[in-house]
A and B are shown apart, each in its own frame.
Chain A
Amino acid sequence: MNSIVTAFAKGIEKSGVKPSMICVPSDIPFEPEVVDFLGVDFFHTTRGRAIPFGTGLKLGNPALKVVPFIGDMMTLGGNHFVHGSRRNMELLVICINNFVYKKIGGQSVPKTAPAFSPYSTFDEPFNIPHLGNSCGALYTARWTALHIDELANSIAEALNKRGMSMIEILAPGPNYYTDIKHIESNVLNFYYENSVIKNNEDPRNVEITPEKKIVVGKFTDKERPTFLETYNTQLSSVLGDKFIPYGCVPPQNKSGGRNGGD
């Protein structure tokens, strides 16, 4: 997690976005001091629901850059991810993938490949970049937590992307029956050494299986009008002058920055 936060901080710096305009709805608790250090606003919400919460934040104030950090993305958050991608909401979804429910003992998740579990799992794991891409996300990438520079570049690019972006990060979390040093030295390096960078790889070929090396890289980067752009153009064309476009002008910062008039 430390390396991800480092990469996030570097990414924010590179992107040129003001940290105060970034907000992070997340379903995983961060160390709260980290948030102060990054200078962002942070919401710890319910499991897997950071994308709809972020959708509300973005629509409430379209000038914000919303970066949902999600752990339970393919279980509780699966539907929200699919619909967020379909709508092309301007969110940068960071999916932290540690293959299991790490904090509560290592139960399997829909991201668990069969070999990661002592008795194996009985179903196929998700290929998240492929799912995101086929649902309409503009930007998909995957890195391990040790690819700090590459990850930071991806975050910087995606922060300036107009539309749904998704970065999957392979990261070991602390587990209550192993110590953190053990994880850092072994698992992190295991991911790093068993990965191969293939930028622009077709997302269909990047599923994680025990037989193959883990494919990391920036897979797709396309363009498409965002939800609010489509909303404004379509309603303007139907209603003409009667329609007041929404979110084109960032809310004025009056009297301590409140959205005046609302």
Chain B
Amino acid sequence: MKTDPKGVLTGLHRLNGNHACAEGALAAGCRFLGGYPIVPALEIYERFLERAKQVGATFIQMEDEISALAAVLGASWTGKKTMTVTSGPGMSLMMEHLGLGVMLETPCVIVNIQRAGPSIGIPNRPSQGDMMQVRWGSHGDYEIIALCPSSPQEMFDCTIKAFNLSERYRIPVSVISDEYVAHLKEDVVIPPAEEIVVEPRRYYTGSKDNYLPFKRDKDFVPRMVNIGDGYRFHVTGLTHDDRGYPVMNEECQEYNVHPLVSKIRNYADEIIEIQEAEIDDAEIIIISYGATSRAALKAMEQARRSGIKVGSLKLVTVWPFPEKRVGELAKKVNAFVVPEMNFGQVVLEVERCSYGNTNVIFVPHGDKGVENTDDLLSAIKHATQEKSVRDGLIEYKQARE
């Protein structure tokens, strides 16, 4: 389906990541933003508000992030594409409604510009500390989709992709970036409206009397209707059957929750996007995502120049995690080097998926700034000296002067 040209600002622009995200949302057809202002996601909020007035979109500043996501879920049921933007502290508050969004299978997009935590942390310092929170933060069993852009251009593309995935799988999709990408200014090419492909909402088309809000297709995704169209439907955050009526027993729990997981796991191959570079002859692979993947590519080039065969695997989709591909590569290479701006989150998944076939070297990459590749290079050199596969995770200890 083609997108609404009103929201597309075709051309070459110099935008920071936040502005690119707002443009991506409008280009994808997002017409409602409910939010609560927070550093460092402010510019998305401001840009959207400024442009919304001229494209017929609307916005509301709610009293907190809890209600912001609640309003977004509500507006989504009226047939609009909706999103909210926040940072770590707001994401913590949104967890309640992330769960509701998963249970009601409501498409929407949550943009999380990560900042240093825990708690209030440093508002204007980048971090990748919310990677596990977005996956496991809400209670109960569910699968989630999270995309990690590494540049303003990718921020634009990922935001559109997030809207498409959310409509396709009926799930809240997170774009989980960091302060570095959010405030980095680069050229962004916004294509003409007719080149932007958007996923249409999957509507129910049968008779009004037979509508079942959670009757699943073969691909586990139920069809939606808009509120106010006279379908008289009932949906609930309690465990429910096809009719959306609460049923309190084990069979229904299995019947209801299993597809929430299956609809993502079974289609993981379609969802996952990874970018590989110099993989074929690589002995060491840097696995990275978000802002750190920029440093990873630089380190890869430098290492290649000094004769070490290094490749790069960049995760655009972090959740669902590309288990299969990482498992395959683990059998071929001597080591994975995983830089992250935290104290070890996605590296745990890498270690799990390498099944003890290779060394996993973790580089906590926050201290010296994301542009600094020294630590990465020394970690790569360290990796070449490891002759055998060691048990467990190897944490690269930074040399401090």
Contact = CB atoms under 8 A, between A and B. Distances in A.
B97 to A, nearest CB: 7
A56 to B, nearest CB: 3
A158 B385 CA distance: 76
Contacts of B71: 52-53, 55-56, 59
B117 to A, nearest CB: 24
A6 to B, nearest CB: 18
Nearest to B52: A246
B72 interface: yes
Contacts of B343: none
B79 A262 contact: yes
Given A44-B236, A55-B71, A244 B56 contact: yes
Interface stretch (B243-251, B286-294, B390-398): B243-251
Interface in A23-59: 23, 25, 29-30, 32, 35-36, 39-46, 49, 51-59
Interface string B50-88: 000111111010111011101111111111111000000
Nearest to B96: A46
A64 B226 CA distance: 11
B309 to A, nearest CB: 51
B229 interface: yes
Interface string A239-262: 100111011000101001111011
A60 interface: yes
Contacts of B245: 32
A94 to B, nearest CB: 17
Interface string B19-60: 000000000010110100000000000000000011111101
Contact of B74 (A35, A53, A227, A244): A53
Contacts of A197: none
Interface string B115-129: 000000000000000
Contacts of B232: 20, 35-36, 39-41
B395 to A, nearest CB: 39
Given A32-B245, A257-B226, A44 B79 contact: no
B79 A56 contact: no
Nearest to B56: A244
B75 A56 contact: yes
B31 A262 contact: yes
A63 B230 CA distance: 13
Nearest to A246: B58
A235 interface: yes
A247 B4 CA distance: 18
A259 B200 CA distance: 12
Contact of A258 (B31, B64, B226, B243): B226
A54 B29 CA distance: 22
Interface residues of B, number: 54
Contacts of B237: 44-46
Chain B CB within 10 Å — which of A30, A39, A42, A239 has the most? Answer: A42
A138 to B, nearest CB: 19
Contacts of A60: 32, 74-80, 82
B53 A257 contact: no
A256 B235 contact: no
Nearest to A247: B58
B49 to A, nearest CB: 10
B386 to A, nearest CB: 49
A79 interface: yes
A117 to B, nearest CB: 28
A83 interface: yes
B223 to A, nearest CB: 12
Nearest to A231: B58
Contact of B53 (A35, A54, A239): A239
B80 A52 contact: no
B167 to A, nearest CB: 12
A242 B63 CA distance: 28
Interface in A78-107: 79-80, 82-83
Contacts of A79: 63-64, 67
Given A56-B78, A60-B32, A244-B56, 9 more contacts: A21-B228, A32-B236, A45-B100, A46-B237, A52-B63, A52-B68, A80-B63, A239-B53, A256-B205
Interface of A: 20-21, 23, 25, 29-30, 32, 35-36, 39-46, 49, 51-61, 63-64, 79-80, 82-83, 227, 231, 235, 239, 242-244, 246-247, 251, 253, 256-259, 261-262
28 contacts: A23-B227, A25-B74, A32-B245, A36-B234, A42-B234, A43-B74, A43-B104, A43-B235, A44-B234, A44-B238, A45-B73, A45-B237, A46-B237, A49-B66, A53-B70, A56-B70, A59-B60, A60-B78, A60-B82, A64-B228, A239-B53, A239-B54, A244-B54, A256-B205, A257-B228, A257-B230, A262-B29, A262-B31
